[in-house]
Chains A and B, each alone.
Chain A
Amino acid sequence: MFAVPSMILWAIASMTVLGVLFGVGLVLAARAFRVQEDPRIDAVLEALPGLNCGSCGYAGCRSYAEAVVEGEKVSLCTAAGPDVTRMVAELMGVEVVEGARLRAVVHCSGGTSQCGQRFEYVGEHDCRAAHITAGGPKACAYGCLGLGTCAIVCPFGAIAMSEEGLPVIDPEKCTACGICVRVCPRDLISLLPVDWKIYLGCSTGDRGKLVKDICSVGCIACGLCAKKDPHQAIVMEDNLPVLDYEKAEGDFATAAEVCPMNCFVVEGELVAASVGAPGETQGSA
């Protein structure tokens, strides 16, 4: 009659003993094979956003945290912004020199109503694939292909495609991670400090006559901006003005005003709303 309860007791007792034994074994093993790790790695990792976007140049947040502890710069995480950099710097006991915050901008304003298509493209829906197919369907060999690869790869959802088929970058969401810059087959995106409100919305390398034929907002290399710029900070190179932001301290208002083709973009808006479909090209997403 007692066989059943004693069997249960035995089972409980033996499991308890085994449990204690293994427990002790694990504790001893943990002590014996303990890997020394800098506790700061975990602390830094805790402070980082944990997106593993790779914009710092490391494989993920953890490998960046390890590198920081090894002496890497604390300001590489563009994804999280200055607050995180400050936290990491505090953990590491270093000073941060705060640079200007950057955001990505698109150097093309030629949407579907400004710049046409040479042919109908039916291949892979990816700008890079379109770029290698007969030179891309866009009439302009330098302009935005509009298939939105930059918007797809943006890990922060900062890029949306407008109805005109141009990427619109939300400067608030943009962390200047630079993934879109690398992915664009036409090198149309660059990272500029947020204070620089005026930038060139064209990347052509063609001569003015050809540009005029294919795009209503393309640079025709007239050189007026270079001539009229009070800071003398614009030079013409390969049919396109090159802006020296340091020299002009980011002020290209005059150049933007005199441009007959409205190639300059001011705060995400065309200077004058006289071309194409005003307002639609660069909406605020």
Chain B
Amino acid sequence: MAKTMTFPVGGVHPEEGKDRTSGLPIRVSEPPGEVAVLMAQHIGAPARPVVKKKDRVRKGQLVGEAQGFISANVHAPVSGAVKAVEERIYSVTGRRVPAVIIENDGQERWARGLNEPQDVESMEPARMVELVHECGVVGLGGATFPSHVKLSPPAETPIADVFVNGAECEPCATVDHRLMLEHTDDVVDGLKLIMRIVKAPNGYVGIERNKPDAIEAFRKALADEASIRVVALQVKYPQGAEQQLITAVTGREVPSQGGLPGDVGCLVHNVATTLAVRDAIRFRRPLVERALTVTGDGIENAGNFVERVGTSVAGILERQGLREGANQLILGGPMMGIAQGTADVPLVKGNNALLVLRGARIPPQRDCIHCGRCVEHCPLGLMPAELSIACEKQDWDAAVELNMLECKECGCCAYVCPAKRRIVHMIKFGKAELRLRKARAREGS
């Protein structure tokens, strides 16, 4: 078990920046006086608001109903009165989406039937998935894919291997590390429940080697478990990407052109998601709060906190204190996080880190010198240099030819580029244009 595993192609080693917060236990923050719960904070169809102004809501009560299978329910994170249903900025797209604004009455009263122990021993897997769906659980690593969809694999691709993704390869983020240390048994319990749902014989907990205490904790907790293995992973970004984790541990490769982990018999859930799935099944507790890391050299008091969904990011920053010269706010880590134009955004389920940089400066971009470093470091074996040039020329056909749609936007290419080219930005631009073109073609036909 001493062997460390990793994916075969590409990857980078950014400065970790985790020391500042990895030793700080997770603290539960005071719930804010007002929350703004976005209806679109997951991948898939936005939820539809089911409350209106002046309605009284209890904690955990449904306020946004999932629309269709690939969508997620949204719940009231506090009890209180609905102040308004109006638009707020969604930090991932920067666009405004409908939100339910709730004024906290401080009562913390759960809606009836929620947050109570459930009879799990005799529960059918279908009921468990139903609870996960009902509780609005989505992927908390940042991608926010609805978890009940992942837990309902098609019959023709049975799941053999279930992973808890504890790699946390994103620099600066330490919240999964803390969760693994503080809730080791709960994570194992969540993993076992997921294995039971999809009837998988093998479980894995994948942890990067820079978290030896977490690896140790899981080895101890899993000493008598034959079916679950702790896997120590090499410290390399993006080790925590679903595909890279699967390849590192099993040697299997998720097929390109829209292949899913299920195609190679795998199912991956992030640590926080595994805990949320467990909470949903064991306690019927809707996803109304999440743990996140608040850090960066622009933050006075860094740490790991449990915050309610819908809390104002500006409020968190004010509470933790901004240092002089703080000029860049990123939701997520430095590699894949999304830079914000304003702090006036509500926290969403997918925010695993809140990073404030001081004196951040974006260097001017130069022409590609064809050094090939990006090609060397791309974990998917793409040619980012050629892709960025195709996107610059707005030759979208050429970009598709170069497999632009395979790109996961991990940012290794831009990280190593000596010409400081904004490769990921250009690829995002290209993808957006293609989506638009497809939408127009559909309209036209």
Q: How far is the CA of A138 from the CA of B96 in the complex (A)?
A: 14
Are B425 and A123 in touch, CB under 8 angstroms? Answer: yes
* B340 engages A134 (CB within 8 Å): yes
Q: With an 8 A cutoff between CB atoms, is B93 at the interface? A: yes
Q: Residue of A at shortest CB range from B364?
A: A122
- Where chain A touches its partner, the secondary structure class is loop
- Asked if A129 CB lies within 8 Å of chain B CBs, one says yes
A131 and chain B: residue at smallest CB distance: B432
> Is the C-beta of B316 less than 8 angstroms from some C-beta in chain A?
no
CB atoms of A132 and B339 under 8 A apart: no
Contacts of B341 in A (CB 8 A): 118-119, 134-135, 137
From residue 101 to 134 of chain A, which have CB atoms closer than 8 A to chain B?
118-119, 122-124, 126, 128-129, 132-134
Among the listed A118, A124, A134, A136, which residue makes an inter-chain contact with B426, where contact means beta carbons less than 8 Å apart? A124
Q: How near does chain B come to A279, taking the closest CB pair, in angstroms? A: 31
Most central of A123, A128, A136 by chain B CB within 10 Å: A123
Q: Which residues of A contact B339 (CB under 8 A)?
A: 133-134
- B394–chain A nearest beta-carbon distance, Å: 8
Complex Cα gap A83–B143 (Å): 56
Q: Is A194 an interface residue (CB 8 A)?
A: no
Residue numbers in A under 8 Å from B429 (CB-CB): 123-124, 126, 128-129, 132
A129: B residues at CB distance < 8 A: 425-426, 428-429
The interface centre, meaning the residue of B341, B392, B426 with most chain A CB atoms within 10 A of its CB, is: B341
Given A118-B342, A119-B341, A119-B342; A132-B422 close (CB under 8 Å): no
With a CB–CB cut-off of 8 A, which chain A residues contact B362? 122
Contacting B at CB under 8 A, from A228-285, are: none
The residues of B that contact A92 with a CB separation of less than 8 Å are none
In contact, A132 and B428 (Cβ under 8 angstroms): yes
Distance of A123 Cα from B206 Cα, bound (Å): 36
Q: State in angstroms the CA–CA spacing of A124 and B393 once bound together.
A: 11
Give complex CA distance A133, B342 in Å: 12
B342 near A123 with CB under 8 A, answer no
In the complex the two chains form, what is the Cα distance from A119 to B89 in whole Å?
Answer: 15
Question: Which of chain B's residues have a CB closer than 8 A to the CB of A124?
Answer: 392, 422, 425-426, 429
CA distance A128 to B436 in the complex (A): 11
State the CA gap A128–B429 with chains docked (Å).
7
Return chain A residues, CB-CB under 8 Å to B422.
123-124
A137 to B342, CA, bound (A): 10
Q: Specify the chain A residue showing the minimal Cβ separation from B93.
A: A135
Contact with B along A62-96 (1 / 0, CB 8 A): 00000000000000000000000000000000000
Residues of B close to A214: CB separation below 8 A? none
**For B425, what are the chain A residues with a Cβ–Cβ distance below 8 Å?**
123-124, 129, 133
Query: Which residues 404-445 of B sit at the A interface, judged by CB distance below 8 A?
Result: 422, 425-426, 428-429, 432-433, 440
Q: Per-residue CB proximity of A125-169 to B under 8 Å, as 1/0?
A: 010110011111100010000000000000000000000000000
Q: How far is the CA of A85 from the CA of B133 in the complex (A)?
A: 60
A141 touches B95 (CB 8 A): yes
Q: Are A128 and B432 in contact (CB under 8 A)?
A: yes
List residues of chain A with CB within 8 A of the CB of B89: 135
Contact across chains for A141 and B432 when beta carbons are under 8 A apart: no
User: Using an 8 Å CB-CB cutoff, how does the interface string of B82-107 with A read, 1 for contact, 0 for none?
Assistant: 00000001000111100000000000
* Total interface residues in chain A, CB < 8 Å: 16
CA distance A134 to B425 in the complex (A): 12
**B426 and A133 contacting across the interface, CB-CB below 8 Å:** no
Answer whether residue B338 sits at the interface, using C-beta atoms and an 8 A cutoff: yes
Closest approach, in angstroms, between the C-beta of A9 and any C-beta of chain B? 57
A231 to chain B, nearest CB (A): 32
**A132 CB contacts on chain B under 8 angstroms:** 93-94, 428-429, 432
User: Does B432 lie within 8 Å of A136, measured CB to CB?
Assistant: no
Distance in angstroms from A128 CB to nearest chain B CB is 6
Bound Cα distance from A135 to B338, whole angstroms: 12
How many angstroms from the CA of A134 to the CA of B89 in the assembled complex? Answer: 9
Closest chain B residue to A153 by CB distance? Answer: B394
User: Which chain A residue has the least Cβ–Cβ distance from B444?
Assistant: A57
Nearest A-chain residue to B426, judged by Cβ: A124
CA distance A144 to B275 in the complex (A): 45
Chain B residue with Cβ nearest A121: B341
Write the chain A residue with the least CB distance to B430: A129
A135-B426 in contact (CB<8A)? no
Report the minimum CB–CB distance from B360 to chain A (whole Å). 11
List chain A residues, Cβ under 8 A from B432. 128, 132
Which residues from 325 to 340 on chain B have a C-beta closer than 8 Å to any C-beta of chain A? 338-340
Q: How far is the CA of A255 from the CA of B16 in the complex (A)?
A: 61
CA distance A137 to B341 in the complex (A): 7
Task: Report Cα–Cα, A193/B354, bound state, in Å.
Answer: 51
Which residues of chain B have C-beta atoms less than 8 A from A128's C-beta?
A: 429, 432-433
Contacts of B428 in A (CB 8 A): 129, 132
Within 8 A of A (CB), among B341-360: 341-342
Given A118-B341, A122-B362, A124-B425, are A135 and B94 neighbors across the interface (CB < 8 Å)?
yes
Query: Cα distance A132–B93 when bound, in Å?
Result: 7
Distance (whole angstroms) from the CB of B122 to the closest CB of chain A: 49
Instruction: Report the minimal beta-carbon distance from A57 to chain B, rounded to whole angstroms.
Output: 10
How far in angstroms is the closest Cβ of chain A from B196? 41
Bound-state Cα–Cα, A122 to B339, Å: 12
Interface residues of B (CB under 8 A from A): 89, 93-96, 338-342, 362, 392, 422, 425-426, 428-429, 432-433, 440
Smallest CB-CB A-B distances: 5 pairs? A135-B94, A134-B94, A134-B341, A129-B429, A119-B341
27 interchain pairs, CB-CB under 8 A: A118-B341, A118-B342, A119-B341, A122-B362, A123-B422, A123-B425, A123-B429, A124-B422, A128-B429, A128-B432, A128-B433, A129-B425, A129-B426, A129-B428, A132-B93, A132-B428, A133-B94, A133-B339, A134-B339, A134-B340, A134-B342, A135-B89, A135-B93, A135-B341, A136-B94, A137-B341, A141-B96
Extra 20 A-B pairs, beta carbons < 8 Å, given A124-B425, A134-B341, A141-B95: A118-B342, A119-B342, A122-B362, A124-B392, A124-B426, A124-B429, A128-B433, A129-B425, A129-B428, A132-B429, A132-B432, A133-B339, A134-B94, A134-B339, A135-B93, A135-B94, A135-B95, A135-B96, A135-B341, A137-B341
